[in-house]
Structure formats: C-alpha cells, structure tokens
Amino acid sequence: MREYTTQMDAAGKGIVTPQIAEVLKNETISQELLMERVAKGHIAIPANRNHTNLRAAGVGEGLTTKINVNLGVSKDVCSFDGEMKKAELALKFKADAIMDLSVSGDTEGFRKRLVKDIPVMIGTVPIYDTLTRTGKATEDLTIEDWFKTVEIHAENGIDFITIHAGLTSKCVQSITTNPRLCGIVSRGGSILFEWIKKTGTENPFYEHFDRLLDICEKHDVCISLGDGLRPGAIKDSTDAPQIEELITLGELTKRAWERKVQVMIEGPGHVPLHEVEMNMKLQKKLCHNAPFYVLGPLVTDIAPGYDHITSAIGGALAAMHGADFLCYVTPAEHLRLPSIEDVKEGIIASKIAAHAGDLAKGIPGAIDRDNAMSRARGKLDWEGQFEQALDPEKALTYRDSSRPKDGGDVCTMCGDFCAVKRVEGLL
C-alpha cells in the first residue's frame, strides 16, 4: 500500500517523492521550503500516477514561472498528427505544460498518445469532452455524464484538469444583473452557464465537489479551478461576476486541501495594465496563496493578429506581481485555430514574459543567462550569443541574412560605428 495519496499528502508526511526530487533538481529552492509549500498548497506538482514518463515540474511560490501551450483539434481543422507536431515544438522550446483542448474526433486516443509520448505535464478540460464524447445537447447531459468524463481523463493520465466549479447559480444571477460588454468568453464557462440556465439546477461540479475530489485524490490529479467568468474585454475586467466566482474558488480550494488534493487557480483574461497587479494580489488573498495560472492577461482588445504581444506585456507584469503559470497566447487568438508557426510565436512571447517576471521577482539564478548573453555581446562573441538565445535558429538566420561586406565581426546596423568595437581594449 502506498504511503501517500497525493504529492501534497507526501510533502506533509515528509516523504520526498520522485516528483519532488525532480523539482528540486531543476529549481533553486531548498528541500525544506519546497516541502513546506507543497504541503500547504502554495506549490502544486501536477503528476498523475498514470503519466509514467513525466518530468515533473512545480508551479507556485518561489519557483520559476511556468508556461503552458494550448493545442487540440476542432471540427473544421481536425489533424491529430498536426497537433502532435505542435506538442513536439513545445518540447523543443522548453514549454512546461501542454493542454489538449480538442473538441472533435477521437479525443481519448489523442490524449493517450500525448501522455505516452510527451514528458511534460498535460492538462485538459473535461467539460468540453463531455459534449464531444456523448454527442448530447447540453441540457440533456446528466451528472453521470459529467463525472464519467472526468474519470476517463484521470485514468488516461492527465496531470491537471480545468473544472469551472465556481460558476454557481449565484454567479449566473450576478452576470445577469451585471451585464457585460462581452458576456462569457470561456468555453467551459459558457457550457455550464447554458446547463444551469436550461436545466434550472446547480453546477454539478460545485454541488458534487466531493465526488470530484474522490477522483482527483485517487489518481493524484491537480484541479485547475477554472474562471468561467473571466473578462473577455478590457471594460469587463475585475467586475462583480469575476470576483463573485473568485471568492467561490477560494472556498473550494480549502475543501480540496482538506483532502490533500492539489489546486491551481485560473485567472483573467483581458485586464488593463493598471489592474494587473491588483488582480494578482486579490487572487492570492482570496485563494489563500494557491498557485495562479493566467491566460495572458491581454492588456488591450485592439490587436488581433498580435495578441501574443498584448499577452506577453500583461504576462510579464502578472508574473512580476505573483502569477506562477502563464498560458500562452498566439497571433491567431480570436481569429482561427493556430498554425505551427503561430504556436512558435506564442511560445517565445510567453517564455519572454515568464523570464522577465522571474527577473523582477528575483528568482535566484534567473539573471545568469542574461549575464552570459551580455558577456558574449561585450566580446562580439556571436556563437556565445546564439547559445543563450531563446530561439537560436532565428537569431542566426537574422545574422546570416545581412553580414558586413568586409566580413568583420560587427553587424550591419552599426558597422564601423559599433560601440563595442570602438572601446575594445580601452575599458
């Protein structure tokens, strides 16, 4: 019989699991502090026992900011092989997690393939898959339908599941009496909103939260408590429905921790710059310092085609003020299913944001790579610069596309006016 049920339970008992050891190997935090924070729920290590090839990662206080890559097929673009290439690209550029948001085809087969071949933590949204799996209209879904899907995902080896358990009947009333410019933009949130409105019953994951905890405890699945009422417009940011749901998520977090089930909290969304810090601190306060996982946040609504940039701006600020996990956004956001090129752009933008946040938070060792890059630049050591670059191939391509005519070691921006070259040997 196992000595522990979940990573949180193990940490509370002083047991260093292989997953905890893996996190210690890749972070600068001490073992004592990591164990304390995992035991309290301030750090989560999503690690389903059925994901046997997982390279575990920690999300939370004092750790490097992690990034997630969303992928998955739709009815209109349904190529699981294409999505697998995106997953492999995510590994190449050192993403920390992948979420499969597929809503068509053999979703279970693809999940199993991801878990078998991808060694980073995998997340899903079982609410979507309940519709796909059953083929039923939303109002015809039963309690058993909802929880059967969760059980399948847990058995498939999914490490964290997004569950919008905080979107209660009370929240439905709140958004009805506090109309928004852009309504509900969460797919999972809209499905549950529709189910509550059409059936006249409570959110099944809120009403039967203990049943959800039973499944997650059994397989050590981390619950990513979804923000079904996250703002999808700058004007709707930090409104009553968003905060109403966040308060409920804080209450559910305590219930999960009582069962030693790990939790992350999902956050906005579209948030103007001056409200980002407040949103981060509000979540940490209301949700008892649980790890915070944010989509963006996007700091303006007017940049379709460039939302990886609006997201990176908000993501860097969010990470600086306490966000632990950034969900990437691609240039295709709001427009289409992203291509593999879009995925790469989104990953790099999110990696920049996460690293900038780590520098601002003073994560030990975060600045080492920047210092190595600066030393290489100060010596016009191009190979050294490429070695430290987030995307070495792109940097080399730019360098090769425009070389100095005399073959020198400067670049074509400055040439003979290169500041580094001019003071060489004088400093």
Per the annotation, where are the binding residues for substrate?
70, 99, 128, 164, 186-188, 227-230, 266, 293
Separation in Å, CA 209 to CA 24, 126, 173, 319, 370? 32, 15, 21, 30, 45
Separation in Å, CA 36 to CA 8, 12, 31, 81, 252? 10, 7, 8, 41, 21
Cβ–Cβ under 8 Å, residues 230 and 186: yes
Helix (H) or strand (E) holding 316: helix 307-320
Q: SS3 for 294?
A: strand
Helix (H) or strand (E) holding 244: helix 240-258
* Residue 166: both structure tokens together: 């905080």
- Summarize the annotated binding site for [4Fe-4S] cluster as residue ranges: 411, 414, 418
Give me the residues paired with residue 274 across strands.
none
d(CA 379, CA 288): 47
- Summarize the annotated binding site as residue ranges: 70, 99, 128, 164, 186-188, 227-230, 266, 270, 293, 334, 411, 414, 418
Q: SS3 for 11?
A: helix
- Summarize the annotated binding site for Zn(2+) as residue ranges: 270, 334
Nearest alpha carbon to residue 11 among 24, 28, 1: 24
Nearest alpha carbon to residue 223 among 237, 234, 212: 212
Helix (H) or strand (E) holding 198: helix 187-199
d(CA 62, CA 36): 12
**DSSP 8-state class, residue 98:** E
Q: SS3 for 355?
A: helix
Give me the residues paired with residue 298 across strands.
270
